[in-house]
Amino acid sequence: MSQNRCSGIANGTKEWQVGVVSNPFREDLVSRNRPEACTVVIFGATGDLTHRKLIPALYNQAADGELPAGVKIIGFARRDWTDEFFREGLEKLNREVSRTGHDEVVWASLAPNIEYHQSEFQDDDGYRRLAERLDAIDQERGGKGNRLFYVASAPEYFDDILLHLKKAGLSDEREGCWSRVIVEKPFGTTLATAQHLNEVVNGTFEEKDTYRIDHYLGKETAQNIMVLRFANAIFEPMWNKQFIDHVQITCAEHLGMEGGRGGYYDKAGALRDMVQNHLLQLLSLVAMEPPTDLSADGVRDEKVKVIRSLRQWDTPELVAENVTRGQYTSGNINGKEVPGYCEEDRVDPESETEAFVAVRCMIDTWRWSGVPFYVRVGKRLPKKATEISIHFKETPSVLFNAAPGGVPDGNVLVIRIQPDEGISFRINSKLPGTTLRMEPVKMDFHYSSSFGKSSPEAYERLLLDAMAGDATLFARRDEVEEAWRFVDNIENAWHESDNPPPMAEFPAGSWGPKEADEMLKSEGRKWRRL
């Protein structure tokens, strides 16, 4: 396995990366809790998430020298597989999807620490045997060991898994070691179901040992939002209603319902699937106040204040005014004809589920009063991209009234979450020549070119943080419930009222329904083209 890249700092030497401005007097700025060796038990280990994300993430940590020595991985699932068959499937996918490529030496070191445990999720005996297996692993280490349980199964099994972990004593605190649980999304489908799941989780693990994962928060650019705001004096003084006209958060997806996803998506929809978790989390990072410190609760205290301050759209009239939902019809994506949403595999032909949603969010705080945050997400849009754009107010144009073409639009700060992670800032500049003509120009920062290496995958960072006991990038119970409270009001207006707002339509390959454009146009604004 490769040497730990952080070893220079750990040994007291200073191995600063070329091209990064570093401060040798502030080594505490790069300090973090160290991940601890543990046994990772993955429930739902035969699924796509384990094969395409979790095991490659652990492999890449090993390749980068970040994975603690002695980590064991146990896949828990219902299929009658052997350890060898399980490893072979994981290796095959790792060769295809690993961020760092596939190194035979690294895999040969990791593979013997991967095992498979066959059991039904409701089988008491399966958990008893798991407990015995974990005890045996701990004895090999010379005593008690740490345990990280990852619930990556289908959501209908969350309760069964958690309750059986408690019944088998696997969630009990043990002196000198820890037991933690990571719970995948969706964390509930309504406020009521989220509250129920929170009761089950907190009846099994303490809140400090509960990690509700949102992989968007593990993306490098999402983590950089706080640094951009609070470590750069030019931005924070202008980060308020005096200087910012509005904010846009866009998550565009060019795919539809490939891979049998229609069965899940038609029950969830864009609002539940993306806005409730990923996009409201990004919104809270953009809008939060400076935390008192960088502890997990210091950051999450400020994030939940933002979500609590969202103005509630709690009547059909308010929802119709501030929310647009839509379905795509047949169209063309990159030269390929694609079907409409209701024609997709496993989608009800009479479906009333939205594949596109745009929401005008208003945050009723002193900092953001009157500043709209426009959030949109959709399937079958022209390209795949997620970004946040901060649109600053325009300058008075009195100086340039006579200039040909006038003054271009105001300054825009763009935070690209995926796929091309980075930050750009649009400013206005004079074109070369004898006349005064202005054009917008862009200052652009790319993670890959600026730091000379690719950013870690989100799950890599989040798994390490869970091993280190750092919950900063995980959702807390109150965050989840407040987000569902906001979303439930909209869902109720769509599905429970006598006069629901209409479902708009747009051709696949376009940027969404005209109703979403009109929502901004009525206020003198327009969506930014990605």
Question: Residue 380's closest CA among 445, 336, 420, 318?
Answer: 336
Residues 134 and 266 in one domain: no
Using CA atoms, how far apart are residues 118 and 349, in angstroms rounded to an integer? 38
Tokens encoding 299: 């950051």
Residues 297 and 164 in one domain: no
- Burial class of 331 by CB neighbour count within 10 A (0 to 12, 13 to 18, 19+): middle
Residues 13 and 110 in one domain: yes
Type of residue numbered 513: P
Would you say residue 266 lies in a domain?
A: yes
Q: Which of 159, 184, 209 marks a domain boundary?
A: 184
Which domain CATH number covers 75? Answer: 3.40.50.720
Residues 156 and 224 in one domain: no
Given the residues 117, 164, 278, 391, the one annotated as active site: 278
Question: Beta partners for 390?
Answer: 247, 413
Q: Which of 184, 203, 237 marks a domain boundary?
A: 184
How many distinct structural domains can be found in the chain?
Answer: 2
Question: Residue 366's closest CA among 417, 434, 309?
Answer: 309
Residues 159 and 239 in one domain: no
Give the range among 83-92, 173-182, 222-231, 391-400 with minimum mean pLDDT. Answer: 391-400
CA angle 490, 492, 494 (to 5 degrees): 75
Would you say residue 168 lies in a domain?
A: yes
Would you say residue 459 lies in a domain?
A: no
Q: What domain range includes position 72?
A: 7-184
Residues 297 and 153 in one domain: no
Q: What is the pLDDT of residue 483?
A: 97
Neighbours of 192 (CB within 10 A): 12
Q: What is the pLDDT of residue 192?
A: 97
Residues 272 and 417 in one domain: yes
Q: What is the pLDDT of residue 408?
A: 63
Which domain CATH number covers 328? Answer: 3.30.360.10
- Where is mean pLDDT largest: 14-28, 140-154, 209-223, 307-321? 307-321
Residues 131 and 259 in one domain: no
Would you say residue 529 lies in a domain?
A: no
Model confidence over 476-525: pLDDT tens digits? 999 999 999 999 999 999 999 888 999 999 999 999 999 999 999 999 99
323 or 444, greater pLDDT: 323
Q: What is the pLDDT of residue 13?
A: 31
Would you say residue 434 lies in a domain?
A: no
Would you say residue 485 lies in a domain?
A: yes
DSSP letter string, 246-266: EEEEEEE----SGGGTHHHHH
State yes or no: is 102 an active-site residue. no
Give the range among 185-199, 328-342, 401-415, 457-471 with minimum mean pLDDT. Answer: 401-415
Give the range among 240-244, 389-393, 415-419 with minimum mean pLDDT. Answer: 415-419
Would you say residue 461 lies in a domain?
A: no
Q: What is the pLDDT of residue 399?
A: 67
Q: What is the pLDDT of residue 260?
A: 83
Q: What is the pLDDT of residue 395?
A: 80
Residues 179 and 245 in one domain: no
Using CA atoms, how far apart are residues 148 and 296, in angstroms rounded to an integer? 19
Residues 175 and 298 in one domain: no
Type of residue numbered 265: Y
Would you say residue 71 lies in a domain?
A: yes
